[in-house]
Structures are given as structure tokens and as C-alpha cells.
Structure 1
Amino acid sequence: MSKKHSNFEEVAKAIKEAGSIVLFPHVNPDGDAIGSSVALLLAVRKLGKKCTILVDEPVQSNLAFLDKGYLSVKSDEENHDLSIAVDCGETFRFEKRQDCFFKGKKTLCIDHHKTSVPFCDYNLIDPARAATAELIFYVIEALGADMDKEIAEAIYTGILTDTGSFRYSNTTGDSHRIVSRLYEHNIDSNRICVEIYENISESKMALSAISLGKMEIFAGGKGAISYVDRAMLKETGALMSDSEGITEDMRKISGVEISALLKEYDNNEIKVSMRAKSIGDVSTIGAKYGGGGHVKAAGCTLHMNMEKALKIMKKEIEENLNSYGI
């Protein structure tokens, strides 16, 4: 089968024809990846399907409220009917799960990233969407599965986090229309916000403090960059997933347009997370180094030491800003 773009009806048909389904959110899954995956899992289970979510590692603590035993680091399905990439538009973002993904008899991608390219039998990709969770909402409608409070709260989590609580420029009128329909199912938005934004561990806070203390402002105050290395994790007892949010914190600084956080996973393995405010396109930087994402949020992996990676990223950010005349 050719790698084609699919509509909601075609995606629903592919799901209905499958008896066993494995969902694959991107590595280091965020609120959209986890929320979308949980919502889809619950919906397809209502249709009598066997479904699991396969991840590389336990979900970050502020999203654990969504996982009621749905996530697994090991798949029991060796030859499942359908593999679904959720909020993941490039195969490298599966990391160690790539082989398992392609063991599915058929493959499907549901994603909203600008840099996504069709690599599955079915591909529902719409970069105009603020979150993959918006696509999941319409997929569930096409499936005819009953919406309930738990599904609605998972979708809400995805939209909430990928729109920066509806502050980012990717937020659309349809984002709000979908959310208004989710409220019909009595979602507890206050509880969700507390779980996500006001449930920070001491180790996460300590890690943020150390990393922000290493921050460097450059490009005439328009760029901000910092890092998290393994020594910091050991010192604070934090996990690398606890570094989530540091990039956004740097972007909040007055005058900063692009921020970047470099994370040391192994010797000569640095993962870069970038955010842009009003000016700049960080997806082009990510794509240049084999990564990708959105105009305002993107990432990549560099195979070099931290000192060299910091130097390269500063140069790339400065050049990106200069291309916009600042």
C-alpha cells in the first residue's frame, strides 16, 4: 500500500478492521502524546478491541494521573493488527520501539507536526491543528465510540498542554469549540491544571533551579540557552523527564524570542529542546540536525559533547533570529 494521506473515515475504518492495536506516542511523551494515546485507547476498547500504549519509560510525574495501567514498557503483541503512531511523525522518535512498530500488519500515523512525512499505510497529518488531541477527538467521533469524562479529560490535557493553556499562537477557534464540547462531559479542568502545573516534586524544582542558574542570555537578549547533564540529575535525584518546562521558563524572560535546553542522555548524546515566542522558526533548526517539530516548538539530537553542542546551538539560534532582521 502506498503511503497516502487519509481522512477521518478511512482512519476509523482501519481501526475498526483491527482486533489488536498498539499505540506508539513519541519518545519522552508530553501531555498531547499521552492524552491523545489514552483517549484513543479508551475509545477503541469500548469497541471491543485489544489495545495497549507502548512507551520507552514511565511517564513524567505530572502526567501520571492519566495512566491507570494503560501504559507499558513492554508489548505482549508480537504480530498485532495495527500500529498507530500518536503525535509522532518521524520514525526516529520511536527510538527503541521502531522494530515493534513495524511488526504491525498495518500502520497508521495521527499527527500534527509541521515536519511530519507520511511513513505509514494510513496517515492523518494536519499541521494546522493545535494538538494531535484535536484530531483524536474527530477520530473518536468517526469511530462512533461514546465520549465519557475520562476520554474527554485526556483530550483536554492534550489540547491544554500543546496550546500553553490556550496562550500560544497555534490556538484556534476550533480548539475552543472542541473544549466546549468536552465540558459537556463534566471535565474537571481545575484538577487537571493542578495535576499538570502545580504538582512539582522537590527534585524537579531543584533541577530547574540549577539549570536556570547556568542559563546564558545572548543574541542581544533575544536568545536564552542552558543545559541539564547527568551530574545535575545525580545531585538532585531528578529524572531527565523533570527537565520539562525549563525551556518554556527561559522563553518567558522579557525580550527572549528563542530558548533552548540541551539535555545530556549519554556520552556524546545531547537532546535539544527549543521554543520560539513571536519571532523565529525553530523547526528549521531541528530539521537541519535530523529532528523536527513546529515553528514555535522543535527538537533534535546532537552526537557530540555538551560544550560543542552549546556552541553550535547558540550559533544556529542567532542566525535564525538574524534571518528575521533582529
Structure 2
Amino acid sequence: MKNNSFEEIGNIIRKAEKILLFPHINMDGDTLGSCAALCKALRNLGKECYILIEDHIPANLAFLDRGYCTSDQNIVEKPDLSICIDCGDADRFIRRKEKFQQSPITICIDHHGTTEFYCDYNYVDSKAAATGELIFKLLRAMDLPLDREMGGAIFAAITTDTGNFQYSNTSKETHEITAALYDTGIDSNEISVELYENNRIEKLLIKNRALNTLTTVCDGQGVIAYVTQEMLTETGALMDETEGVVEELRSISNVEVAAFLKEAEADKIKVSMRSKYKVNVADIAYSLGGGGHERAAGFTLYCSLTEAFDMITEKMTDSLGKL
């Protein structure tokens, strides 16, 4: 299957009056920033539009929600249109899936290479550094002006998903789109402070505990660390405050691939993987029921932490052994 055009998708959006936007669970800056920008644009058109969520918004992303987010699935009883944003499959919003499917028309806008076309209209571009880039292009195709708030939300989407423009997915076009956002009057420093300098002390405590679990694989080419529910209780931290740990692991000299295991609950382990140059972690994730990008991917294992640790060690050793 091939993508629909932004023009086609824009025409469908213009015809709808009641629209729900669906970010993925464990929201990051890309999914929420993209949703916030699109929600503001659609409200500017006079649409009844909300971002439907099922979990809490991380503290450093709270500034993006200006009355857009709701967990009330009945706030729009019969939506004309449902749009999932930055979601590779419907399991990424499992508790909202039924509501999503109530709409007579569904749209998917995403940038994950493992995304399958599962909506009526789809635009998936794995070359895009962030879904925020695609929202920018959609709004341009619809000839909708971007204001300072929308520009800031898209900037947040792009900067977080590119590791502040450090990751290999960053392209010339990424910088060109970002440059255009400055024309809306954004204050990149103000946004960056909200995103990166707005941490509770509990986040530093849990990061320290997690890094103390570090184990090396294949003479230090791979590293694995984990966090447990007990560690969260002891530090008073929230699970979303472990975001960024896997990037810290990858930043270690000579490390090619890193994995961070999060004990969501007993026998449910969420795994984030990152690589620097050669290992395609999306392949590993896909083989275990997940997905993502070549250098950043994730999946969930339904087993004990010890079993998950052993499984990831085996997968990592196998991948590194092929280099």
C-alpha cells in the first residue's frame, strides 16, 4: 500500500466537524507536540477537537496541553473522524481502541518504519525525523497558518525525537522545517527549559538507581540496565521519569547498542533499545512483537524481569556477533 497525499488527508479533515486525536501511551514530546499543534489548528477552523489520552502527561510536557487533552471518552459521543498520531499500531492506544474505531473514517500519521497501514487514510514516512515534521507538512498542504503556540509544539516534537538534533534521523529538511518555525515567533530557549530543565529531584534519584544496575555485554559493546517497581517506590519517582536513561546508556564510549528494561508490573517488562551505528534495533523489536526505528525501538515482554534480561542479552549478543 502507498501513502495518501497530504491534500487528500487535508480534504477529509476539512469535511469533519467532530475530531478526536490519539497519541500513543507513555506520551513523548513528538506524539503530544504533534497532537497539540494539530488540535490548535483544527480548533482555529471551528472544529470540535480533543486529544484523547489514557495516561497522565509527563511533567516536562504539561506546557503543551492548553485545554486540549481529556481522558473522557464520551466528550465527543460520535466523532466524525479519528486520527492517530505517532502510533505504529492500534495497540499503542489499546484502552482507546474501541473509541477510535467508532469513527466512520480513521487516519494514521506516523514516521515509524514498522508501521502497517491500518487506517482508512495513512501517511507514514520513516525518513521523517519526527511526526512533528509531517504535521508541519500537513498544515502547509492545508494552507493553515502556524501561530507561535503551534510552532512551539512542533518544535518540541522535533527536538525531543531527534535528541535535540543529535540523532542520526536528523536531516537537512529537519533543520529547514525548524528554521521555518522560528518565523512563528517561537522561543526555543523557553521551550527547551520546559523540556529539559524541569525535572523533579526524584527523576535524578531513579536515574541514579537505574544506572547502578548497568551490565555490559560483548566486551562493553552492549549495555543493559533496568528499573523495578520497588525502586520507584523507594525513590518516589514515576516510571515516565526514567525517560532518557536508555540514551544515557548509549552515550557510553564504545557502546553500540543499549537496552533499558522497565518493570511495568509483575511479568510485564517494557523494553527500550537504542544503537549508534550498525545494529538495527527495529529488527530486534519486531521479532519480539514491537517496532520503531533502526536506531530507536521498543517492545513489551510478558515474563519476569530475569527472563526478559536473559532474552535481551541473547538477542544483543547475537546482533553484536554479526558485526
TM-score relative to the length of structure 2: 0.97
Alpha-carbon contact 1:23-1:52 (below 8 Å) kept: yes
3-state SS of paired residue (2:270): strand
Cα deviation code 1:192-248 (max 9, x no counterpart): 111111111111111101010111111111111111111011111111111100101
Partner of 1:91: 90
Question: Quick one: which amino acid aligns to residue 74 of structure 1?
Answer: D
3-state SS of paired residue (1:263): strand
Partner of 2:60: 62
Q: Distance in 1 between matches of 2:215 and 2:244?
A: 17
Cα deviation code 1:150-196 (max 9, x no counterpart): 00000011111111111111111111111111011111101111111
Q: Distance in 2 between matches of 1:234 and 1:5?
A: 45
Q: Distance in 2 between matches of 1:167 and 1:265?
A: 29
Alpha-carbon contact 2:88-2:291 (below 8 Å) kept: no
Partner of 2:49: 51
Number of residue-to-residue matches in the alignment: 322
Partner of 2:188: 189
Q: Distance in 2 between matches of 1:243 and 1:137?
A: 29
- 1:129 Cα deviation after fit: 0.6
Q: Distance in 1 between matches of 2:208 and 2:2?
A: 46
1:39 aligns with 2:61: no
- 1:4 Cα deviation after fit: 5.7
Cα deviation code 1:62-103 (max 9, x no counterpart): 111111221112221232011101001211111211111111
Q: Distance in 1 between matches of 2:287 and 2:90?
A: 16
User: Kindly, what percent of the aligned residue pairs are identical?
Assistant: 44
Unaligned runs of 5+ in 2: none
Partner of 2:303: 304
3-state SS of paired residue (2:67): coil
Moved over 2 A (4+): none
Question: Quick one: which amino acid aligns to residue 35 of structure 1?
Answer: G
Question: Quick one: which amino acid aligns to residue 127 of structure 2?
Answer: A
Partner of 1:72: 70
Aligned 1:141-156 pairs, distance under 5 A: 141-156=140-155
Partner of 1:292: 291
Q: Distance in 2 between matches of 1:183 and 1:312?
A: 45
Alpha-carbon contact 1:282-1:295 (below 8 Å) kept: yes
Partner of 2:232: 233
Q: Distance in 2 between matches of 1:118 and 1:136?
A: 18
With over 3 angstroms needed to count, the CA separation of the structure-2 counterparts of 1:281 and 1:4, relative to structure 1, is closer
3-state SS of paired residue (1:5): coil
Q: Distance in 2 between matches of 1:114 and 1:273?
A: 16
Q: Distance in 1 between matches of 2:174 and 2:85?
A: 18
With over 3 angstroms needed to count, the CA separation of the structure-2 counterparts of 1:155 and 1:133, relative to structure 1, is same
Partner of 1:115: 114
Unaligned runs of 5+ in 1: none
Q: Distance in 1 between matches of 2:94 and 2:259?
A: 22
Q: Distance in 2 between matches of 1:178 and 1:263?
A: 34
